[in-house]
Amino acid sequence: MNSIQNIIRGFAVCRFNAGTNIRNFCTAGSKYEYLIVETRGKNNNVGLIQLNRPKALNALCNALFKELNAVMLNMDDDENIRAIVLTGSKKAFAAGADIKEMQNIEYAYAYRSKFLEHWTNITKIRKPVIAAVNGYALGGGCELAMMCDIIYAGDKASFGQPEINIGTIPAAKALAVHGSGILPVEASGLRST
């Protein structure tokens, strides 16, 4: 097994300088409402997904996750794509769940409808998923990054779970995965062997 496979199979939090550009090569992006999707690399074999809700600091909403899940599944099925990079903006990777979308949802409805269940589909992707974080990764944004196989954290990256200050718990299950003793990357190693 080569060293790159070792890195992907082990949970790594790496740092890159704010000036580092992970977008060295480019193809034209597809049109989505909440995402910018491109392929990069010499052979267009790296899928790049950028969360694109800048006015809301990339707050996570159901519509964004529907797009993200569809794109991730397409990239997972694309034999040319070898890895997927998920990123946000300089200011925010993702500032958590869109509270405006969730404010009127009652617990009984959220429980019956499995309201956030599809938010964890990223953990089912077989290819390495790398979170490139520079800026805020809070609440659901922090969990989204933790569900990726590798986190590249920039100089301005800031991780946190501020929802605990208002009496709620992290909802997207990333912490539960960690609490089970299996890190997301270890789980991906199990599913890819």
Map out the domains of the chain as residue ranges. 3-191
Catalytic annotation, pick one of 139, 140, 141, 154: 140
- Per-residue pLDDT at 42 exceeds 80: yes
- Residue 172 or 84, more confident: 84
Distances (CA, A) of 83 to 41, 102, 120, 157: 10, 32, 18, 22
- Residue closest to 86 by CA, chosen among 152, 140, 21: 152
CATH superfamily membership of 3-191: 2-enoyl-CoA Hydratase; Chain A, domain 1 (3.90.226.10)
Catalytic residue among 95, 163, 171, 174: 163
Tell me what pLDDT residue 103 has.
Answer: 72
Beta partners for 15? Answer: 153
Q: What is the mean pLDDT of residues 89-117?
A: 79
47-51, 58-62, 162-166: range with highest mean pLDDT:
47-51
Does the pLDDT at position 10 exceed 80? no
Which candidate in 92, 94, 95, 97 is catalytic?
A: 97
Note the pTM of the prediction, 2 decimals.
Answer: 0.74
pLDDT for 108: 80
Question: Averaged over 166-181, what is the pLDDT?
Answer: 58
